[in-house]
């Protein structure tokens, strides 16, 4: 199904690729109104072309569902996108290519059907649709195919790469092709006229070397030179461009092997090339883009890796300097805090597997400026976890980061941590290492197993950690004035099963933070904090199942924190606090239609009636439940939203009501109209991408960038203003796509 709706997009400006401004300044927020389209299938690829000849960039979307196939989405002007047609060829179809073979100005579609040795093509009908035309039966399996004017008649002929040779079929000009003829013994990876003699030559990597084949006439190719060794294969996106201003086409490409390189070959004009740069890349590469990063009239490069994008500025002579690496991994759990002491909630988003944290600063209108903050990259690993806490009690949140590294020889893990202090304006300085210890346990630190808070009342943060090895023990560490931790005690759960998650709340109202721990998936235990850090087990609550979520809030407005728990099924229940930190009978039970899979619970006054309402989110079923409390102390399901994530309640747009921010691998902003009606206002995402493409989506002469990812399509500002990266994904993330951000 497809539906269209107007959305109000708040465009997030980040320190990202391809800035046009000098010094890569972060721009203020801009706001645009835009259309979106949503599909009911997963997207695995995208082409951006003018499919119907109206000079607007349309889209060819490749499906990732069980039917495979592709869909045509036409741009009707002003970025009003509409689903036109959906095609379902053989499910083994792949290796799609678009090219105009009948010279009618509209691109036609080719695809190869694996295991049947068929190359199928459909001609464009001029309106963005594709008509079945012919099936080219091949002599044997092909490795690859491409299009190039082999015969010199300015038509694109079909090149076919077979296991031992390359053949071609002449384009007859009417959408048909001639018989298969021999072309060369090697497949041309890069085709160009090296010596400007009117005959095309080609370069081809083979066995780790880059070889140049010169055309001596009549398709007689001769190995002319071996240019490079040890380069491996080409990544997609090589470029032929005059780098050094001598009117010869030079070559820029990225090689993929054990070591990855950004390589530039300068054309000497006599059939030879000189190596001008061979920059080693830190990561494997997916794609390379030629663009302008710093507006100095020299060609620059952006290289996409699996989890980041590296940018290189050109010097105009065929050499390139590394500029920066921008991390593009899935976002981990976000946190909402006032980082810059302006009274507004900001968003902090750690990047998993990276050494970056994204800080989105709220200017008071719900708009966020973003910048990257490098923190302690030497220790970062998959088990890195960040705490956000006012560590030095100066009124602003600091960052404590913990990381686990492994010693492969002794099978022992070392936990280390580091502190970064906030100067009050969202700027951080790394101060010192904090706590380190060794353990044979491999358990990760997370929000479920690690808490930083002042348990002892000395105005300094203490640290409660679930032991990574003996996971039924909690260890308490006290900090000193030099930001060092010392173990002062432990809590043994007395032979119970592992501690699932821990949390804190002052549920007895004495000003100390008490402790709550889920144990073995069936119980929740409560410890009162007496005498500043002395914990006494006082109560136990049956959770009723594994993977529960729980939350403390004042349900009945008596000044004490009550308890709400959600089981990993369909039941949510609340228990009232007697005012002294002890919990009696159930106050309510709620049944959800689909269950929540224990993702998150939060609360707030959502409709100005001074009663506590509930937000319950699901992970498995991708839903947000809004429960409104009535004057009879009953909770009524008000409505649901198709989103997911751990809910944070705050006034995002400073209009006096309670909005919601959901954090998961997406960060979703839900705005409240004051009556508990919520609208998905923004969803920030930067997930794994399968393909990138460029097109002018708003007709302003500027190219925009399209990123097709596992969960949808991401639009950013390319080439001149890629510092203004916009990232958005429709919900649910598995099956919908969202259009589109213009380059202003």
* Least confident window among 27-31, 59-63, 429-433: 27-31
pLDDT tens per residue, range 522-580:
678 888 888 677 888 887 776 554 556 778 889 988 888 888 887 665 678 888 888 88
Quote the tokens at residue 163. Answer: 């296991």
* 139-188 pLDDT per residue, tens: 677 877 888 888 878 888 888 877 777 888 899 988 888 888 887 766 66
The percent of the chain in helix, strand and coil, each rounded to the nearest 5, is: 0, 50, 50
Q: Per-residue pLDDT tens for 248-258?
A: 888 888 877 67
Predicted TM-score (pTM) of the model is 0.48
Percent of the chain with pLDDT over 70: 59
- Predicted pLDDT of residue 611: 92
Residues 88, 89, 93: CA angle, nearest 5 degrees: 125
pLDDT for res 614? 93
Helix (H) / strand (E) element for 471: namely none
Task: Please indicate whether residue 7 or residue 569 has the higher confidence score (pLDDT).
Answer: 569
Within 8 A by CB and 6+ apart from 632, the residues are none
Least confident of 41-50, 179-188, 332-341, 582-591: 332-341
Listed by start position, the domains of the chain span 4-328+687-721, 344-459
What is the rounded average pLDDT of the residues 472-494? 80
Give the number of other Cβ atoms within 10 Å of residue 142's Cβ: 20
**Regarding predicted confidence, which is higher, 288 or 552?**
552
Distance CA 466, CA 491 (A): 9
Identify whether 740 is preceded by a cis peptide bond (ω within 30 of 0). yes
Q: Torsion-angle region of residue 493: left (phi > 0), alpha (psi -120 to 50) or beta?
A: alpha
Residue with tokens 């393909």: 691
Residue 499 · residue 471 · CB < 8 Å: yes
Mean pLDDT over 627-656 rounds to 82
Going by pLDDT thresholds of 50, 70 and 90, the confidence category of residue 26 is very low
Mean pLDDT of the 592-603 span: 67
Looking at residue 200, what DSSP letter applies? Answer: -
* Segment of 17-21, 136-140, 413-417, 424-428 carrying the highest mean pLDDT: 136-140
Q: Which residue has the higher pLDDT, 632 or 725?
A: 632
Q: Count of CB atoms within 10 A of residue 15's CB?
A: 18
Return the top range by mean pLDDT from 10-14, 299-303, 722-726, 738-742. Answer: 299-303
Query: Order of strands, edge to edge, in the sheet holding 659-663?
Result: 646-650, 659-663, 667-672, 678-684
Listed range (117-121, 466-470, 618-622) with the worst mean pLDDT: 618-622
**Residue given tokens 């012919």 in the structure block:** 134
Per DSSP, what are the bridge partners of residue 357? 350, 373
CA distance 708 to 178: 35
Residue 588 pLDDT > 70:
yes
Residues 365, 247: Cα–Cα separation, whole Å? 51
Q: Is 729 helix (H, G, I), strand (E, B) or coil?
A: coil
Q: Across all residues in the chain, what is the average pLDDT?
A: 68
Residue 336 CB neighbours (<10 A) = 19
Residue 7 makes CB contacts below 8 A (sequence gap 6+) with: 33, 34, 35, 36
Select from 3.40.50.920, 3.40.50.10210, 3.40.50.1860, 2.130.10.10 the CATH code of 4-328+687-721.
2.130.10.10
- The pLDDT score that the predictor gives to residue 367 is 44
Question: In the predicted model, is pLDDT for residue 14 greater than 80?
Answer: no
Q: How many CA atoms lie within 13 A of 298 on its CB side?
A: 15
Average pLDDT of span 104-118? 81
């Amino acid at each position: 199904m497809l539906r269209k709706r107007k959305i109000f997009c708040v465009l997030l400006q980040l320190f990202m690729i391809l800035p046009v401004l000098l010094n890569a300044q972060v721009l203020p927020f801009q706001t645009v109104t835009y259309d979106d389209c949503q599909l009911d299938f997963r997207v695995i690829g995208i082409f951006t072309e003018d499919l119907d000849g109206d000079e607007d960039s349309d889209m060819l979307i490749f499906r990732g569902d069980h039917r495979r196939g592709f869909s045509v989405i036409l741009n009707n002007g002003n970025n009003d996108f509409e689903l036109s047609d959906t095609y379902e060829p053989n499910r083994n179809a792949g290796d799609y290519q678009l090219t105009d073979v009948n010279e009618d100005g509209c691109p036609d579609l080719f695809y190869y059907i694996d295991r049947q040795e068929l190359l199928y093509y459909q001609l464009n009908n001029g309106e963005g649709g594709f008509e079945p035309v012919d099936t080219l039966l091949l002599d044997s399996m092909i490795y690859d195919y491409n299009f190039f004017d082999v015969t010199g008649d300015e038509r694109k002929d079909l090149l076919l790469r077979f296991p031992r040779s390359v053949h071609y079929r002449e384009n007859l000009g009417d959408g048909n092709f001639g018989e298969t003829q021999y072309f060369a013994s090697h497949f041309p990876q890069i085709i160009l006229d090296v010596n400007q003699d009117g005959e095309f030559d080609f370069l081809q990597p083979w066995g780790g070397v880059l070889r140049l084949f010169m055309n001596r006439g009549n398709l007689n190719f001769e190995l002319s030179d071996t240019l490079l060794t040890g380069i491996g294969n080409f990544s997609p996106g090589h470029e032929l461009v005059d780098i050094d201003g001598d009117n010869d086409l030079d070559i820029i490409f990225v090689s993929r092997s054990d070591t990855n390189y950004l390589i530039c070959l300068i054309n000497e004009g006599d059939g030879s090339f000189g190596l001008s740069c061979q920059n080693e890349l830190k990561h494997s590469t997916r794609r390379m883009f030629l663009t302008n990063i710093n507006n100095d009239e020299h060609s620059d490069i952006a290289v996409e890796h699996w989890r980041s994008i590296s940018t290189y500025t050109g010097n105009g002579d065929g050499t390139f300097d590394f500029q920066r690496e921008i991390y593009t991994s899935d976002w981990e759990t976000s946190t909402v805090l006032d980082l810059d002491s302006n009274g507004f909630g900001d968003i902090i988003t750690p990047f998993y597997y990276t050494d970056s944290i994204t800080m989105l600063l709220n200017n008071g209108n719900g708009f966020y400026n973003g910048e990257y903050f490098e923190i302690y990259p030497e220790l970062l690993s998959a088990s890195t976890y960040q705490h956000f806490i006012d560590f030095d009690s100066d009124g602003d949140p600091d960052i404590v980061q913990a990381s686990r590294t492994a010693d492969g020889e002794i099978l022992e893990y070392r936990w280390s941590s580091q502190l970064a202090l906030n100067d009050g304006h969202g700027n951080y300085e790394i101060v010192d290492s904090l706590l380190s210890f060794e353990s044979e346990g491999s358990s990760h630190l997370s929000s479920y197993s690690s808490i930083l808070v002042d348990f002892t009342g000395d105005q300094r943060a203490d640290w409660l950690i679930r032991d990574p090895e003996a996971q039924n023990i909690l260890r308490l560490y006290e900090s000193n004035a030099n930001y060092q931790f010392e173990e002062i005690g432990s809590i043994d759960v007395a032979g119970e099963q592992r501690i699932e998650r821990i949390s804190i709340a002052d549920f007895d109202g004495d000003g100390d933070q008490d402790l709550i721990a889920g144990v073995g998936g069936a119980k929740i235990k409560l410890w009162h904090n007496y005498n500043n850090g002395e914990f006494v087990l006082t109560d136990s609550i049956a959770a009723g199942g594994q993977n529960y979520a729980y939350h403390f809030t004042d349900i009945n407005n008596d000044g004490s924190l009550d308890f709400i728990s959600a089981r990993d099924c369909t039941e949510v229940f609340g228990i009232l606090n007697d005012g002294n930190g002890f919990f009696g009978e159930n106050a309510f039970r709620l049944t959800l239609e689909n269950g929540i899979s224990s993702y998150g619970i939060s609360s707030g006054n959502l409709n100005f009636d001074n009663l506590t309402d509930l937000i319950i989110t699901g992970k498995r079923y991708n839903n947000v439940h809004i429960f409104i409390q009535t004057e009879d102390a009953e909770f009524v399901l008000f409505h649901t939203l198709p989103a997911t994530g751990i809910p944070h309640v705050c006034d995002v747009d400073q209009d006096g009501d309670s909005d919601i921010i959901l954090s998961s691998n997406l960060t979703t902003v839900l705005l409240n109209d004051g009556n508990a009606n919520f609208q998905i206002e923004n969803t920030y995402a930067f997930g794994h991408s399968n393909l990138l493409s460029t097109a002018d989506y708003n007709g302003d002469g500027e190219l925009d960038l399209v990123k097709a990812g596992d969960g949808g399509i991401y639009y950013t500002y390319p080439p001149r203003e890629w510092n203004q990266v916009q990232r958005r994904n429709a919900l649910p993330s598995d099956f919908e796509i969202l259009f589109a951000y213009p380059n202003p």
